[in-house]
Amino acid sequence: MRVTELAAFLNATGLTASCEGPDAEVRKVAALEDAGPEDLSFVAARGITSGRGVKSAASSNAACLLVRQDYPNPANRSIIRVPDPRAAIALAIPLFHPRAEHKPGTHPSAVIGAGSVIDPTAQIGPLVSIGEGVQIGSHSSIGPGCSIADGVRIGAHCLLHSRVTLYEGVTLGDSVILHSGSVIGADGFGFVFTGGAYEKFPQIGRVEIGDRVEIGANSCVDRAALGMTSIGEGTKLDNMVHVGHNCRIGRHVVVAAQTGFSGGVVIEDYAVVGGQVGVGDKARIESRAVIGSGAGILTSKIVRAGQVVWGTPARPLKEYLEQLAVLSRLAKKRKTGS
């Protein structure tokens, strides 16, 4: 693909893209430091007019760079100016590195229960187990070894990688991606202490996952005890994330790896949750709040909309940093004896 053709494609997606320099041929995408004379790469830094970013870009062998509007180009190399190079490269990558070809049909080793309805454009891989009354939408792909229980609903254009498990009562919207080893709809951790022992509280609720949700490898989303565990449209969960029973996660939330939500947690739209965060029962994280990595949110705690918190127990970032500074000064005083 020529640079001018790529710029035209980006303009067609709604980005404002303008190209400069030679109309080079681009064949694939690579990191800035690894790019060769047929590669597309990008420079994402804001307000970049000097320093390491410019030097790295200047020394790159990339055929073309996606850059911000204020990026200098004294050598008149091949560039495409866009408002957000990272977003532009995400749109460009499928052009050069398309996903494996979708092959409709059902592998002969798959087992399909009675009453299941599978769209003829769907792809069912080897050793897949599908229960009774399952519905699978158009152009969805079910990878090798997946297990789909009775009554599950899977929308259109979904991708289940190998060995995904969906329990009964799970509904997936359209364009959902589930990575290998993820388990959706297992029982929540619900027990009642009676007669000197823990007895299981039956988990009879459901899980509903909205459109364009992506869930990472070995992550688990538990069914509700009663009612529903839900994940809203566009939300992204990293690897090894645990969502407990009756959690309600809103739209376009991002959650980094090894984070755990206890039962009944509410995460509102556009919140950002760092890695290794622990959230106690029935806590609420309001819209656009940011939870720093490793933070601990106490049971029933409310993190207000737009607030940035850090530490355990989590507190506003400014307060957290002030306390770190005080501890640092105390440690220095102890060493000097003053």
Residues 6+ apart with CB under 8 A from 46: 68
Sequence letter at residue 125: G
In this predicted structure, what is the pLDDT of residue 183? Answer: 98
The model's pLDDT over 248-280, given as tens digits with 9 standing for 90+, comes to 999 999 999 999 999 999 999 999 999 999 999
- Containing 324, the helix (H) or strand (E) segment is helix 317-336
* DSSP states of 192-240: EEETTEEEE-----EEEE-TT-EE-TT-EEEPPSSSEEEE-TT-EE-TT
Question: Which residue positions in the chain have pLDDT lower than 50?
Answer: 47, 49-50
No. of helices (H) and no. of strands (E), the chain? 4, 39
Amino acid at 327: L
CATH 2.160.10.10 at 109-318, yes or no? yes
pLDDT tens for each residue of 66-123: 999 888 888 888 999 999 999 999 999 999 998 888 889 999 999 999 999 999 999 9
Q: What are the residues facing 220 on neighbouring strands?
A: 183, 242
CATH 3.40.1390.10 domain extents, the chain: 3-96
Position 234 scores a pLDDT of: 98
Radius of gyration of the chain (CA): 24
User: For tokens 């490793």, what's the residue?
Assistant: 294
- Rounded Cα distance between 299 and 144, Å, is 39
* pLDDT the model gives residue 78: 92
CA dihedral 103, 104, 109, 115 (to 10 degrees): 160
The separation between CA 256 and the C-alpha centre of its own chain, rounded to angstroms, equals: 8
pLDDT at 45: 65
Name the catalytic one among 102, 242, 245, 252: 245
At 46 the pLDDT is 58
Burial class, 309, CB count within 10 angstroms (exposed 0-12 / middle 13-18 / buried 19+): buried
Active site residue 245: yes
Residue 241: CB partners within 8 Å, gap ≥ 6?
A: 215, 216, 219, 220, 255, 256, 257, 258, 259, 260
In the chain, list all ranges with CATH 2.160.10.10: 109-318
Length, in residues, of the chain: 338
Percentages (nearest 5) of helix, strand, coil residues in the chain = 15, 30, 55
pLDDT score at 154: 98
Q: Identify the CATH number of the domain defined by range 3-96.
A: 3.40.1390.10
